[in-house]
Chains A and B, each alone.
Chain A
Amino acid sequence: MTTTEITYVGSPIDRVDGLEKVTGRARYASEHNPRDLTYAAPVQATIARGEVKGMDAGAALKVPGMIAVIWHGNAPRLAPSDAAELSVLQSPRVAYRGQYVAVAIAETLEAAREAAALLRVEYSEEAHDVELRADHPRLYRPDHVNPRLPADDVRGDPDAALASAPVVVDATYTTPAEHNNPMEPHATVAEWDGGGLTVHDSTQGPTALRGQLAPLFGMPPEQVRIISPHVGGGFGSKGLAHPHVVLAALAAKQVGRPVKLTVTRREMFAVTGYRTPTIQRVRLGAEEDGRLIAISHEACEQSSTIAEFAEQTTVATRMMYAAPHRRTTHRLVRLDVPTPSWMRAPGEAPGMFALESAMDELAVACGVDPVELRVRNEPATDPDTGLPFSSRNLVACLREGARRFGWDARDPRPGVRRRGGLLYGTGVASSTYPAYRSPSQASARAEPDGTFTVRIAAADLGTGARTVLTQIAADTLRAPAERVRVEIGDSALPQASIAGGSMGTASWGTAVVRACEALVRELERTGGVVPPGGAEASAATAEEVRGQEKYARHAFGAQFAEVAVDADTGETRVTRLLGVFAAGRIVNPKTARSQFVGGMTMGLSMALFEESVMDARFGDYLNNDLAQYHIAANADVRDIEAFWVEEDDPHLNPMGTKGIGEIGIVGTAAAVANAVHHATGIRVRDLPIRLDRLVR
Chain B
Amino acid sequence: MTVDLQLSVNEQIYPLTVDTRETLLDTLRERLDLAGSKKGCDHGQCGSCTVLVDGRRVKSCLTLTVTVDDQPITTVEGLAGEDGLHPLQRAFIEHDAFQCGYCTPGQLCSAAGMLAEAARGWPSAVTPDVAADPVLGEEEIRERMSGNLCRCGAYPGIVAAIEEVAR
Contact = CB atoms under 8 A, between A and B. Distances in A.
Interface of A: 14-15, 17-28, 30-31, 33, 108-110, 181-185, 230-233, 235, 262, 264-265, 461-464, 590-591, 593-595, 597-602, 625-627, 631-638, 640
Given A31-B35, A183-B102, A598-B154, 18 more contacts: A15-B96, A23-B36, A24-B35, A24-B105, A30-B29, A183-B103, A183-B152, A185-B40, A232-B38, A232-B101, A232-B102, A233-B100, A462-B99, A590-B96, A601-B153, A627-B43, A631-B149, A637-B142
Contact of B40 (A184, A230, A632): A184
A635 B142 contact: yes
Interface residues of B, number: 58
Contacts of B145: 634
Contacts of B105: 24
A29 B43 CA distance: 20
Nearest to B104: A21
Given A594-B152, A626-B41, A25 B102 contact: no
A184 B142 contact: no
Contacts of B101: 17, 20-22, 26, 230, 232, 462
Interface stretch (B52-60, B115-123, B129-137, B156-164): B156-164
A232 B22 CA distance: 24
Given A109-B30, A233-B99, A24 B146 contact: no
A108 B1 CA distance: 13
B143 A635 contact: yes
A663 to B, nearest CB: 14
- Among B36, B94, B156, the most chain A Cβ lie within 10 Å of the Cβ of B156
Query: Residue among A30, A463, A635 with the most chain B CB within 10 A?
Result: A635
Nearest to A629: B45
B19 interface: yes
A23 B42 CA distance: 21
B149 to A, nearest CB: 6
Report whether over half of chain B's contact residues are helix, strand or loop; otherwise say mixed.
loop
7 smallest A-B Cβ distances: which pairs?
Answer: A24-B36, A462-B100, A232-B102, A601-B153, A462-B99, A21-B101, A598-B153
A109 B42 CA distance: 13
B96 A594 contact: yes
Contacts of A638: 142
A22 B45 contact: no
Given A110-B21, A231-B100, A463-B99, A599 B153 contact: yes
Given A598-B153, A634-B155, A185 B39 contact: yes
A376 to B, nearest CB: 33
A232 B141 CA distance: 24
A109 B105 CA distance: 23
B3 interface: no
Contact of A631 (B99, B147, B148, B151): B151
Contact of B33 (A19, A33, A463): A33
B46 interface: yes
A24 B77 contact: yes
Contacts of A235: 151
Contacts of A26: 101
Contacts of A640: 156
B151 A181 contact: yes
Contacts of A463: 99
A184 B154 contact: no
Contact of A626 (B142, B149, B153): B149
A12 to B, nearest CB: 9
Contact of A625 (B43, B77, B147): B43
A413 B101 CA distance: 44
Contacts of B80: 23
B76 interface: yes
B65 to A, nearest CB: 11
Contact of B153 (A20, A109, A262, A597): A597
Nearest to A642: B156
B76 A24 contact: yes
B30, B103, B142, B146: which has the most chain A beta carbons within 10 Å? B30
Contacts of B29: 30-31
B99 A595 contact: yes
B96 to A, nearest CB: 5
A471 to B, nearest CB: 15
B89 interface: yes
Interface in B36-83: 36-43, 45-46, 48, 75-77, 79-80
B48 A183 contact: yes
Which of the listed residues A109, A233, A262 has the most CB atoms from chain B within 10 Å of its own CB? A233
